[in-house]
A and B are shown apart, each in its own frame.
Chain A
Amino acid sequence: MAAPLTLLLLVAVTVRAALFRSSLSELISERVEVVSPLTAWKRVIEGLALLDLGVSPYSGDVFHETPLTIYLFHFLVDYAEVTFMVSVAGSSVFSDYLFRKQKFALEADRYPLDCLELIRSPKEMYYIPLKVAMFYLLNPFTILSCVAKSTCGLNNAIIALFILSTIKGNVLLSAIFLSLATYQSIYPLTLSALLTSVPLSCLINLCVTQWICVFLFWWFIVQYAFMYLGSLFVIICLSFFLLGSWDYLPSVYGFILSVPDLTPNIGLFWYFFAEMFEHFRLFFLCVFQINVFFYTIPLSIKLKEHPVFLIFMQLAVISIFKSYPTVGDISLYMAFLPVWSHLHRFLRNIFLVSCVLLACSALFPVLWHLWIYAGSANSNFYYAITLLFNVAQILLVSDYFYAFLRREHHLTYGLYLKRKDGSEATLVLK
């Protein structure tokens, strides 16, 4: 397994290195779909230059990275390209490692006999880690965001580390990586809903009586929450000591939550807030931000036995509804798609979704050029494509959700459904 992975890594590194050295890198690093005010490399350089001049980098609404990122890039600014490539390679290696180690409890006798074709054979599963790594490394979105040196790559690496440590069962590391991910951008907070589903599967063996079960469950949650909040607190205090001031709190978190910068991107916020009256701004800001966090509880209730799928859904929801999404966020959850390649027989809209996604990705630069440079289009055109892109993503995610649930249903009730009198029945989604 190591050889194909190494080969893949080599190919990915070559592609990125070639693009770094070409003239496309400046072009790509200015594209609004790839970099956002939160993740742009230009702003990191600007912040570091301000720091060298003795001014706080958070003055003037240029720099919105966290102080730990300042510390990291202070030493690595000359080796930025290598850093990003390493982080991307690291994420893919982690996810590869993760899926190799994941144990799918296949208890064939639990399922009805005709479901054998639904269960994945070990041969299929052998190639999944490699496919995940390939999907992440060779995804054009990842390549673009790596060449643009957007710090999204670092965020993705931290989230991948978090997922790895959660699945491996290491509570402390998972709490630490989750707090790091939340510290970078607030939205991974929703991933903490995972902790309702993971302990159930871990602790199922220890449950002697029901009360002990409940107690252990809550004790675990308290432990985890304590570690998570503790490490978050420690990281925030440490960041205070880096620059000696609390300015980074409004600059980073205030910026993410209150969305003052309305540069067009592939998200949903900018157009609405550009044309909104001041009177209603707070209200709509709350609505939009709650939308990200809103799906956590229902999803975690429904998917409490399937933590990996829950992670996938949460990541997808975050990257669609966050305030400044970029294509780097999309590439993270798309890397998970090969894990559920067995669901392909239940997917209903996959052709439409893939066509729309491809078409929109091609149309983004076209309509941007028409709007900004040629002047013959306006922001409505670009926002229409943005909307369509997000609708396609939502459709993709909901399609996978439907397919997943349907497979679960079939696993419980059998693949070929029969009514009480023996005739064939069809499954209808209400």
Chain B
Amino acid sequence: MKIHHFLSLFSTYFLVDGVNIEDRAGQFFSSGHTNNWAVLVCTSRFWFNYRHVANTLSVYRSVKRLGIPDSHIVLMLADDMACNHRNPKPATVFSHKNMELNVYGDDVEVDYRGYEVTVENFLRILTGRLPPSTPRSKRLLSDDRSNILIYLTGHGGNGFLKFQDSEEISNVELADAFEQMWQKRRYNELLFIIDTCQGASMYERFYSPNLMALASSQVGEDSLSHQPDLAIGVHLMDRYTFYLLEFLEDIHPASKTNMNDLFKVCPKSQCVSTPGHRTDLFLRDPGSVLITDFFGSVRKVELTMETINLTDPIEQLESAESGELQKEMHTYADQLPVSEIIHQKPKQKDWHPPDGFILGLWTLILLVFFQTYGVKHLKHIF
């Protein structure tokens, strides 16, 4: 691991000489995010849904290993499997058969547990509308330079995800919550991974920019579980997350693996269902997005012996193919049109009945009047 680090640093150093220091500085500053957050949610309870808790804990483990601290992870587990009285190995949650990998160490911090995992709490975390008494560990304190990873697992269907066997969140609600996050500038880029049956339906309705989504199965397909363990008696993991975990185990903080490799995780031969992904709302090319942009909290460090003059604004480094692709500039909506409010004039009544109507009506009224009371009044008018 360390040699790999050293070698990669070394290679970067040699690459440096060929490239201008200003371009490199531009590349350094062109990365959009400065901090990483993760919201990992398991929505099912009961012992036979052991695998959903194991899924979530596996992703938690990877994310923590790649550098995101507990203060930046919101972990929501709907049930306690480690201390469940049906667990033959208490205080453990295994993700591999034969108990090879215990994902429930003694450094797991669960923020929302048991019945606190509800649709309302989940949406409140995302939008930030929590009561003032909520502690920091239960809040998603992201800003407009945060990259957020959201992982959901549980039982789902076409357009919904079931929480706690009693309520559900719909894809429309989720899309609207993300739009609220965008308008409140709560994320820079967001990666949404869902491992449920018919998971692709959950990202169909997204409409906010900078969202990338992955799902374990398409609409009409079920996501299947991986292995039952005969000692514990339940299925330990779902297939998609199992292969995702295998993939992530090979990632380290300095790796340059990008999203296109993530899309290839768990092909149909292994997963039985067809994983899907959605990148049309994402501004950058997925090939240029590193896995560690979302799964890890990587601080970019470049060692250089030269001084760089930072007085001129650093221009964005253009990639070779940007000639054909027109990048649409996304800007935040003007949330408070102050100039209009300051100079607001009192509201005028804008609607007036059409002239033809008034003319017709009063002609009729006059006609009826003269009909009933005789024409002799006419000479008084004219």
Contacts and interface: CB of A to CB of B under 8 A. Distances in A.
Interface of A: 51-52, 54, 68, 70-71, 74, 170, 172-173, 176, 234, 238, 241-242, 244
Contact of B368 (A68, A176, A242): A176
A238 B357 CA distance: 6
B360 A238 contact: yes
Contacts of B368: 172-173, 176
A68 B353 CA distance: 10
Contact of A52 (B350, B353, B356): B350
A170 B347 contact: no
Nearest to A173: B372
Given A172-B368, A172-B371, A173-B368, A242 B354 contact: yes
Contacts of A238: 357, 360-361, 364
Nearest to A240: B357
A228 to B, nearest CB: 14
B14 interface: no
A242 B356 CA distance: 8
Contacts of B372: 170, 172-173
Given A170-B372, A172-B368, A241 B354 contact: yes
Interface string B366-382: 00100110000000000
B373 to A, nearest CB: 10
29 contacts: A52-B347, A52-B350, A52-B351, A54-B350, A54-B351, A68-B361, A71-B353, A71-B357, A71-B361, A74-B351, A74-B352, A170-B372, A172-B368, A172-B371, A173-B368, A176-B368, A234-B364, A238-B357, A238-B360, A238-B361, A238-B364, A241-B354, A241-B356, A241-B357, A241-B360, A242-B353, A242-B354, A242-B357, A244-B354
Nearest to A241: B357
B300 interface: no
A68 B357 CA distance: 10
A346 B138 CA distance: 80
Interface in B338-363: 347, 349-354, 356-357, 360-361
Given A173-B372, A241-B354, A241-B360, 4 more contacts: A52-B350, A238-B357, A238-B360, A241-B357
Nearest to B351: A51
Contacts of A170: 372
Interface string B95-137: 0000000000000000000000000000000000000000000
A67 to B, nearest CB: 9
A285 B60 CA distance: 60
A173 B367 CA distance: 11
Nearest to B365: A176
Looking at A52, A70, A238, A241, which has the most chain B CB atoms within 10 Å of its CB? A241
A74 B351 CA distance: 9
Closest 6 CB pairs of A and B: A51-B351, A241-B357, A242-B357, A52-B350, A71-B353, A52-B351
A52 B349 contact: yes
Contacts of A74: 351-353
Contacts of B364: 234, 238
Nearest to A77: B349
A54 B350 CA distance: 8
Contacts of B349: 52
Nearest to B369: A173
A74 B350 CA distance: 11
Contacts of B371: 172
A54 B347 CA distance: 13
Interface residues of B, number: 15
Contacts of A241: 354, 356-357, 360
B76 to A, nearest CB: 35
A97 to B, nearest CB: 15
A242 B354 CA distance: 6
A339 to B, nearest CB: 26
A71 B332 CA distance: 43
Contacts of A173: 368, 372
Contacts of A70: 353
A235 to B, nearest CB: 9
A241 B349 CA distance: 20
A95 to B, nearest CB: 19
Contacts of A52: 347, 349-351
Looking at B352, B356, B360, B361, which has the most chain A CB atoms within 10 Å of its CB? B361
Nearest to B361: A238
A229 to B, nearest CB: 15
Nearest to A176: B368
A73 B372 CA distance: 27
A173 B353 CA distance: 26
A74 B360 CA distance: 17
Contacts of B351: 51-52, 54, 74
B299 to A, nearest CB: 52
Nearest to A168: B372
B263 to A, nearest CB: 45
A330 to B, nearest CB: 31
Contacts of A172: 368, 371-372
Contacts of A234: 364
Contacts of A51: 351
B350 to A, nearest CB: 5
A234 B354 CA distance: 17
A71 B360 CA distance: 13
A163 to B, nearest CB: 16
A242 B371 CA distance: 25
Contacts of A71: 353, 357, 361
B144 to A, nearest CB: 33
Contacts of A176: 368
Contacts of B354: 241-242, 244
Contacts of A54: 350-351
A204 to B, nearest CB: 24
A234 to B, nearest CB: 7
Contacts of A68: 361
Looking at B352, B353, B356, B371, which has the most chain A CB atoms within 10 Å of its CB? B353
A244 B349 CA distance: 19
Contacts of B352: 74
Contacts of B356: 241
Contacts of B353: 70-71, 74, 242
Nearest to A244: B354
Nearest to B358: A71
Looking at B351, B360, B372, which has the most chain A CB atoms within 10 Å of its CB? B351
Nearest to B352: A74
A176 B367 CA distance: 12
B187 to A, nearest CB: 34
